[in-house]
């Protein structure tokens, strides 16, 4: 598949660029916000496109054009305020869904957050972020896309282990970003994940096997 | 009808308290955030209940209990940041919908914002607010409630005229808050507004007639 990776410059995104670029099965088009980011990718031999999630849907549609799948791992991050959370994490995600629908691209993988579907389990400090993720996930689930919503626990920068736990509800846990990226990769073609949403944390099951047993 | 008014202490809410309280058709239960606000209402002879849209759904369900309709005109307002916009205007509204569904209360009237359904027409400065209103409206439209979503133009503090324009799309305009409150009142029992969403601005048509011709 030719995959549009939205949020390619993020921490999980950078792992995914490498995984997709080195894969025999897939090719990647990396969507980034800035020209400099595109240049860095170009130097690595990775196709990239500059587009802004705060722009209009047509801009994102143009990025989706020619792709077979979309991965959304963009986020406004912790250093900006909730304005950007609303504009990027919520409305930006909804625009990506609309762009995929417009271009007839069915496959859509979203990186969400652990328990984003359960308000009772939202971390008080991150509550506004969870609101945005929750309603973005709602938009995806209400769409006709062949979606997978992956909700990772607390993100760690340590190296991945290749082993995870996946389930509709894992009330707490953390996971290396590298393993989130690998889970996204494995989910891309695993039909057991189609039109499914699930939590993922570090665990004891090899990733492809864990997804096959979802 | 016995109406739960959420946001009774807001500027539109205060007009609605009086309209509902003085009505022969309806009674009002005014939901407010603070005990002092409840005391002021009590002194006026208005039934009130203290509940927090940032609390859990059960708290709001208890307020909805015994009512026949819910009006939502709460908002975090311009003096707080987008954190509160996410928590109150979006998630708080969704909680009110859930509470109504839980209690089997079908009638739900939402005060939204002009063109909240059309991203292209969002005011750049108010864009995060529009995102929240848009996805709150989405939640209502996806529910099984007998909803009406009223999207007023720029809110004015001048006295109402009793005349408005209503349509699915009015690209710009303003309206006195008093006329928004009157439109909400008239919509409550006007079947032409059931499961409908529309813009409203100052205009040339008497409110009940305007809604009847929607």
pLDDT of residue B193: 98
Looking at chain A, which residue has its C-alpha nearest residue B93? A131
pLDDT of residue A130: 97
Cross-chain CB nearest to A85 (options B57, B82, B142): B82
- pLDDT tens digit sequence for A116-137: 999 999 989 999 999 999 999 9
B26 pLDDT band, cuts 50/70/90, is: very high
Token pair listed for B156? 């004015």
Cross-chain CB nearest to B81 (options A82, A94, A134): A82
Strand-pair partners of B62:
none
Q: B123 or B165: whose pLDDT is higher? A: B165
Number of domains in chain A: 1
pLDDT of residue A61: 98
| Contact (CB<8Å) A56/B91 | no
Question: Over 90: is that where the pLDDT of B78 sits?
Answer: no
The mean of the pLDDT values for chain A is 97
CB environment B166-186: b (16+ within 10 A), e (fewer) = beeebeebebbbbbbbbbbbb
Q: Which domain holds residue A207?
A: 2-212
Mutation site for A-interface testing, chosen from B52, B80, B83 by largest number of A Cβ within 10 Å:
B83
B171 pLDDT band, cuts 50/70/90, is: confident
**Phi, psi angles (nearest 5°) of residue B167:** -170, 160
CATH (domain of A91): 3.40.50.720
ipTM of the complex: 0.93
| Contact (CB<8Å) B83/A128 | yes
Which stretches of chain A drop beneath a pLDDT of 70?
none
Question: Over 90: is that where the pLDDT of B88 sits?
Answer: yes
Put simply, whether B204 touches A (Cβ < 8 Å) is no
Alpha helices in chain A (DSSP H): 11-21, 35-43, 57-64, 82-84, 91-103, 127-142, 177-189, 207-212
Share of chain B above pLDDT 90, in %: 97
Looking at chain A, which residue has its C-alpha nearest residue B127? A87
Question: Over 90: is that where the pLDDT of B207 sits?
Answer: yes
Put simply, whether A123 touches B (Cβ < 8 Å) is no
């Amino acid at each position: 598949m030719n995959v549009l990776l939205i949020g390619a410059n993020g921490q999980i995104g950078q792992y995914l660029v490498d995984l997709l670029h080195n894969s025999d099965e897939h090719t990647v088009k990396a969507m980034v916000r800035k020209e400099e980011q595109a240049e860095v990718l170009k130097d690595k031999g990775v196709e990239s496109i500059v587009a802004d999630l705060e722009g209009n849907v047509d801009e994102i549609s143009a990025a989706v054009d020619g792709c077979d799948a979309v991965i959304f791992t963009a986020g406004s991050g912790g250093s900006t305020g909730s304005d950007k959370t609303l504009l990027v994490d919520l409305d930006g995600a909804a625009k990506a869904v609309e762009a995929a629908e417009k271009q007839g691209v069915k496959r859509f993988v979203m990186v969400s957050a652990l328990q984003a579907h359960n308000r009772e389990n939202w971390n008080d400090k991150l509550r506004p972020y969870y609101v945005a993720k929750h309603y973005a996930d709602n938009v995806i689930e209400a769409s006709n896309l062949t979606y997978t919503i992956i909700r990772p626990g607390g993100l760690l920068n340590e190296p991945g282990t290749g082993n995870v736990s996946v389930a509709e509800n894992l009330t707490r846990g953390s996971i290396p970003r590298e393993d989130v990226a690998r889970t996204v990769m494995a989910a891309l073609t695993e039909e057991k994940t189609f039109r499914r949403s699930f939590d993922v944390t570090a665990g004891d099951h090899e990733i492809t096997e864990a997804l096959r047993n979802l």
